[in-house]
Structure 1
Amino acid sequence: MPNPFARFTARFTTPALPQVVPGDVALVTGATSGIGAATATALVDAGFRVIGTSRDPQSPGAVANTPDHVELVPLDLGDPASIDRLPGELADIGVDVTGQAGPPVSVLVNNAGESQNGPLEELPRDALERLFQVNVLGHVEVTQQVLPGMRAQGRGRVVFVGSMLGSFPLAHRGSYGASKAAVKAFGFSARRELRPFGIGVSVMEPGAIDTGISQRRTVYIDRSGPYADEFDTMLTHLNANESAGIHADRVTAEIMRAVTSRRPKPLYAAGSSAGVAFPAARLLPRDAMHGIIAGRHGI
């Protein structure tokens, strides 16, 4: 006879899931720099067969920065046609996303993404579409491609790399924060959908991290407009905070916990006083918390 108490408590606990094992295939998007490179290295060290992605695997930068023992395949998250070609690229190196003609992807770390800055009033539509294609739709589409194989083998782990800005919005960073909040919603929803198939889904939210992203972010600001002064103040503090931020290895350690745990948590975080920020957000009025975040950026 079913135990009604067990059914009740199951709704409030994280169930044990089948674990991924050394030798399984791990796919890391954006594996040639920052968090992606550090995570790919950690997965290799843990005994996984690691496949990384890069927009152009043959470029000198990609070749030079690809971690040892990581196989690289082309993937541009901004190009839906490139995403459609990913199963074929994987098949060429013996990985079958369906799990029927070769080993499937057992671990997916959705890491690749772009950063964007600008006040809401001045963000161009094409820039927003590009950001959400890369940071949200691309992650969803890659995940959709590898899930059949995970389900077929009855185990898997998916980690979406978001940002603490998905939980703590910052002025002039609304589009980037919104893309990361969207990723978190997809991840949290998919946890319940995929749990019956032995697949764990987690979201990793880094805070300020020193990966050199300040040199690669896109900026949309009218220098003669009403937001320019505050925007420049925010950006100066943001760059300084990131230059003094944690190393990518700290983020990777949390990602590896999500990958290797029998009971992966929904959310992992590191950097920007994450251990204080999340509890404080449950206690303080929302505007007060937003004010603290703004204050850390000089505005």
Structure 2
Amino acid sequence: MKAIVLITGATSGIGRATAELLSEKGYQVYGTARTIEEQPKGYTLLAMDVRDTSSVRQAVEAILSREGHIDILINNAGVGITGAIEETPVEALENAFQTNVFGAVRVIQAVLPSMRAQRKGKIINITSVAAYMGLPFRGGYSASKGALMLLTESLRMETEQFGISFCSLAPGDVATDIASRRFHTPAIEGSPYEQYAKALPHMNEDIAKGLPAEALAHSIYHLIEKKAPKVHYVKGKTLERLSILLKKILPSKCFERLLKGHYQL
């Protein structure tokens, strides 16, 4: 019997690459998207807006009625956001949290009852290297992904008794189209945060030079195949992985100086 996989945000980037790979590996894959233009080959797309509880429940119930179970959930749907916190509209920050945090929670809450009933399940939350540190001009993104990372720790302990395992995978920059879809706070003329306008092109360049989405898909596949995954994993370039280590070992002011130097603050 094929394991049933649910992947949110499966029409591009990491989600699409993972859906394609897992389908090739013999999994029965269901992906989700807010809008569906056409069905891909190898897996099934369902309409789901993770910001809408009823939309999430309808999609999960559709899978359960068809398959009877969901074995693996990959919470991949997410949005980017940039800008100085003072100048970023609260509504934009709320949308980031609705998608990156509460959206993931909605899907988790929808699948957990069936996983508990079958006494098994794996849930992988896609976070970010940005979750490990408050990045200048990316504070909303860092905070939302950091919240999801900590929720993973809580859920892991709460649900282990039911045979369910949680882990997070934190990518560094990945070469996807997220830069074109994320919310950019406008660079305001005369803003006291003039460095933001200078930093924005570099943020987009970093994404363009990031790891291919297929590399993350293979990491997700290996996590699924692990019998007892640990709680957190990181997949990024050497400097991105090093930044997490440096934050752990350097005095906080030293690490801040490194980040401020990178963002010309």
Aligned length: 264
Tell me which of 226, 234, 254 is aligned to 2:219: 254
Q: In the aligned structure 2, how far is the partner of 1:205 from the partner of 1:213?
A: 15
Deviation of the 1:51 alpha carbon: 0.2
**Paired letter, 1:174:** G
Q: Is residue 23–residue 42 contact of structure 2 (8 Å, CA) maintained in 1? A: yes
Structure 1 pair 45–56 and aligned structure 2 pair: CA distance change class (3 A):
same
Deviation, structure 1 residue 267: 0.9
- Per-residue CA deviations over 1:103-127 (Å, capped at 9, x if unaligned) read x111000001111111111122221
Secondary structure of 1:105's counterpart equals coil
Larger mean CA deviation between 282-291 and 37-46 belongs to 282-291
Q: TM-score, normalised by structure 2?
A: 0.92
Tell me what 1:281 maps to: 247
* Identity across matched positions, percent: 33
Of 121, 129, 143 in structure 1, the residue corresponding to residue 94 of structure 2 is 129
Q: Deviations over 1:234-266 (max 9, x none)?
A: 211111111111111222222222211111111
Letter in 2 for 1:47: G
Aligned pairs for 1:53-202 (under 5 A) are 53-57=32-36, 59=37, 63=38, 66=40, 68-91=41-64, 94-95=66-67, 102=68, 104-202=69-167
Asked if residue 217 in structure 1 is aligned to residue 182 in structure 2, the reply is: yes
Aligned partners of 2:187 and 2:196 also within 8 Å: no
Task: Flag the structure with larger Rg.
Answer: 1
Question: Which residue identity is paired with 1:117?
Answer: T
Aligned partner of 1:204 in structure 2 is 169
**Partner of residue 28, structure 1:** 7
Matches within 5 A, 1:2-13: none
Taking the aligned partners of 1:247 and 1:150, their CA distance within structure 2 comes to 32
Alignment correspondent of 2:207? 242
Q: 1:85 offset after TM fit, Å?
A: 2.3
Give 2:250's aligned amino acid. L
The unaligned stretches of length 5 or more in structure 2 are none
C-alpha distance after superposition, 1:202-238 (max 9, x if no partner): 1111111111211111112351242452111221111
- Superposed CA deviations along residues 65-120 of structure 1, whole A, max 9, x for unmatched, are x3x3111100012333322322343246x03xxxxxx2x11100000111111111
Q: What does residue 20 of structure 2 align with? A: 41
**Deviation at residue 298 of structure 1 after TM alignment:** 4.6
- TM-score (normalizing by structure 1): 0.82
Deviation, structure 1 residue 50: 0.2
CA apart distance, 1:149 = 1.3
SS of the residue 1:179 aligns to: helix
Question: Which structure features the higher share of helix residues?
Answer: 2
